[in-house]
Amino acid sequence: MVPEKITLLKVDVEGEEAPTTAGARRHVEVDRPTLTTATQDLWDLPRRILDVTPNYQLYLRHYTDVAYETVVYAVPPSVADC
């Protein structure tokens, strides 16, 4: 566990995004970091993020011509308003 406040959480753990994001729940709830999460599950992971932080803005970006490297960006309102 990281004791310091975090402002950015980047997750790319080859299919283990859901448990990793669940493990970081306290940081997400308390610190409200921007999240960047690589995923192949375009329904479950965004739903899980919004279950913890319903006021985040979600953005989806795809970086290759294959099914990999899709990233969900979850941005807290304080950053999205900038």
Residue 63: closest CA among 39, 47, 45, 44:
39
State pTM to two decimals. 0.80
pLDDT tens, position by position, 23-75: 888 888 899 999 998 887 788 888 988 998 899 999 999 888 876 778 999 99
- Bridge partners (DSSP) of residue 57 are 75
Domain boundaries, the chain: 8-80
Question: CA of 54: how far to CAs of 15, 65, 66, 70, 74, in Å?
Answer: 23, 31, 30, 21, 10
d(CA 12, CA 55): 23
8-80 topology per CATH: Rossmann fold (3.40.50)
Tokens encoding 33 = 């970091």
**Percentage helix, strand, coil for the chain under 3-state DSSP, each rounded to 5:** 35, 25, 40
